[in-house]
């Protein structure tokens, strides 16, 4: 048996779509963080932490971190506005000095940035600031919209692909990437991998297209539009479901 199990070496190099769940990927993220901090309690920052009534399908990261690492884990939630689950009112697009003045000089072992980047006025600065807040060996988990209805909270400015996130977070080693949906109660996700590692080459786009769109014929298109609660204009029969790109990076 070879190190890859009973698969032949040529098979292990094939491009594969692997089914997974957000729950499984979250546990894998925490495993990486635990391995990097050892016996020390991790310092965790959530960017965009304010809890909204509409966040029915958003993970409660404070609770998950506490459950995994115990009550002594150091968790800070920051947001543009004060509210539930917010410890610091700060803008991730501020200067590095302003952020460290508000968050402290100690670096973070994990920064969580979920459903935030599409709303930032300057995602490039946001990414640089997040990298600057990390400890060497620290991890970042980013989840951003690739396909989602317009949602201005407070504004809706950008959409991202995995390779787009790689461009933003150029200092990070990408250790995991997966795609997930947005339906309440449906914990389904997919990874595109080659040889057990995330496939980051643009050529994988031909495979990814299958996750991103649904083409309807004329009658099905009319039926879908007729079922909408509000008026929709029939511009196209090509629909893109709610999909998020998720990336785990490590600062080497």
Please report where in the chains the tokens 């980051």 appear, as a residue: 200
Q: What is the pLDDT of residue 5?
A: 40
For residue 109, give the nearest of 73, 142, 72 by alpha carbon.
Answer: 73
Exposed e or buried b for every residue in 14-41, given b needs 16+ CB within 10 A? eeeeeebebeebbeebbebbeebbeeee
Over the stretch 134-143, which tens digit does the pLDDT of each residue have? 999 999 999 9
Q: What is the pLDDT of residue 171?
A: 96
Q: What is the pLDDT of residue 219?
A: 87
Over the stretch 46-57, which tens digit does the pLDDT of each residue have? 999 998 755 555
Arithmetic mean of pLDDT, 118-141: 97
Q: What is the pLDDT of residue 55?
A: 56
Mean pLDDT, the chain, integer: 87
d(CA 45, CA 130): 10
Q: Which of 40-49, 52-61, 171-180, 203-212 has the lowest mean pLDDT?
A: 52-61
For residue 153, give the nearest of 45, 51, 44 by alpha carbon.
Answer: 51
Q: Is residue 149 very low, low, confident or very high in pLDDT (cuts 50, 70, 90)? A: confident
Q: What is the pLDDT of residue 4?
A: 37
Q: What is the pLDDT of residue 12?
A: 52
Q: What is the pLDDT of residue 49?
A: 94
Q: What is the pLDDT of residue 22?
A: 94
Checking if the pLDDT of 84 tops 70, the result is yes
Arithmetic mean of pLDDT, 182-194: 84
- CATH fold of 16-198+240-250: Rossmann fold (3.40.50)
d(CA 236, CA 48): 33
d(CA 128, CA 132): 6
Over the stretch 206-234, which tens digit does the pLDDT of each residue have? 777 777 777 778 888 888 778 877 777 77
Q: Which of 91-95, 116-120, 173-177, 225-229 has the lowest mean pLDDT?
A: 225-229
Alpha helices in 15-140, H assignment, sequence order: 22-37, 61-69, 96-103, 123-133
């Amino acid at each position: 048996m070879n190190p890859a199990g009973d698969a032949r070496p040529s098979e292990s190099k094939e491009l594969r779509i692997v089914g997974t769940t957000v729950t499984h990927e979250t546990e894998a993220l925490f495993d990486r963080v635990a391995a990097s901090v050892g016996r020390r309690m991790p310092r965790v920052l959530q960017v965009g932490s304010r809890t909204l009534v509409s966040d029915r399908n958003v993970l409660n990261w404070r609770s998950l971190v506490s459950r995994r690492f115990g009550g002594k884990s150091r968790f800070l939630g920051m947001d543009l506005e004060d509210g539930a689950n917010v410890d610091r009112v700060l803008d991730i697009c501020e200067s590095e000095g302003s952020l460290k003045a508000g968050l402290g000089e100690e670096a973070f072992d994990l920064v969580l940035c979920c459903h935030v980047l599409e709303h930032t006025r300057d995602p490039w600065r946001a990414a640089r600031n997040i990298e600057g807040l990390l400890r060497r060996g620290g991890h970042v988990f980013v989840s951003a919209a690739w396909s989602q209805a317009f949602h201005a909270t407070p504004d809706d400015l950008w959409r991202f692909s995995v390779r787009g996130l790689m461009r933003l977070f150029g200092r990070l080693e990408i250790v995991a990437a997966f795609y997930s949906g947005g339906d309440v109660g449906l914990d389904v996700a997919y990874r595109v991998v080659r040889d057990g590692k995330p496939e980051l080459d643009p050529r994988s786009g031909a495979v990814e297209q299958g996750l991103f769109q649904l083409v309807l014929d004329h009658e099905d298109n009319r039926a879908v539009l007729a079922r909408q609660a509000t008026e929709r204009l029939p511009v196209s029969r090509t629909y893109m479901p709610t999909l998020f790109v998720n990336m785990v990076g490590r600062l080497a």
